[in-house]
Amino acid sequence: MKLALIGYGRMGKMIEAAGARDGIEIVCVIDPVAGSRGSLSDADVCVDFTEPAVVIDNIKTAAAAHVSMVVGTTGWHDRLDEAKQLVLESDIGLVYGSNFSIGVNLMFKITRYAAGLFRHFASHDPFIEEAHHKLKKDAPSGTALSLGKIMEAEYKREIPTASTRAGYFPGRHTVGFDSEADTLEINHSARSRAGFADGALLAAKWIDGRKGFFEFTEIIEEVLHDRPAGQ
C-alpha cells in the first residue's frame, strides 16, 4: 500500500516509522512547516493528523485527488455531516475516530457495560478525568467526549469531566464511579503514540479499496464480531 501523510509532526513521523516496519511506502508528505514532497494522487490512502481547523479542507483535497482517507485529528467532529457529504459525493472512503488506540476502543465497550450497571445505584456518581500534553489544543479530548456520550446514553444526563493540559502526557483517561464507601475506576494510559499509529495503519489498510464514511469503532466491531462495518 502507498500512503500519504497530511501533517508531519510527531504522529506523522510515528506513522512513517510504523509503516516502514510493515512495508508501507510513504509516497507523499503534506505539511506547511516541514515542507511537502510527492503527489497525493500517487497514494492509495492518506492519513491526517493535523489541526481541527484544516480537516475539512484536507478532506476536500483528498476528495479532489480521489484518495481515501484516515482522519486521526480531533476537535472537528461538529462538522461530521459536512465531511460525510464530501466523502459520499466524491465516492472515496474515510475512517475517522476520536482515538485510534485499540486499548481505548475496548475501553469504550467496557465503559458502556459498567455505566449500564452503575446507573441502577444512586450511591455511585459517575465522572471522567483526562490529561494530555500541554500542546494539545482541544479540551476535553475527543476521547473524553466519546466516553461522555457513552455514559450519558445510560444516565440520561451530563457526566462531569475534568481536563488537564500540562507536561508531556501522550494521553490518560479515567472513567470512575464514586460513592461514600468506595470508588471504582477504569483507566487507560498511553505509554507512547505508537498505539495510535498502529490503529491508524489498521484503518488505512482497511479503508484501502472501500468507499463510504466510517468510524474506527465500526472496524473494532468487525474484528470482534466478524461483522462487516456499516452493517
- Polymer length in residues for the chain: 231
Q: Which of 2, 13, 109, 136 is catalytic?
A: 136
Q: Which residues touch 15 (CB under 8 Å, ≥6 apart)?
A: 3, 5, 47, 49, 197, 200, 201
Residue-wise pLDDT for 139-188, tens only, equals: 999 999 999 999 999 999 999 999 999 999 889 999 999 999 999 999 99
Three-class DSSP labels, 29-97: EECCCCCCEECHHHCCEEEECCCHHHHHHHHHHHHHHCCEEEECCCCCHHHHHHHHHHHHHHCCEEEEC
Q: Which of 124, 132, 173, 188 is catalytic?
A: 132
| Residue 225 annotated as catalytic | no
Identify the DSSP state of 186.
E
Domains and CATH numbers, the chain: 2-100+194-225 (3.40.50.720), 102-189 (3.30.360.10)
Rg (CA), the chain: 18
Confirm whether pTM is higher than 0.85: no
Cell digits of residue 46 = 492518506
The model's confidence at residue 230, banded by pLDDT at 50, 70 and 90, is: low
| Residue 136 annotated as catalytic | yes
> Higher model confidence: residue 98 or residue 83?
83
For β-strands 161-165 and 125-132, DSSP reports them as parallel
Residue 228: is its pLDDT beyond 70? Answer: no
Cell 465503559 appears where? 111
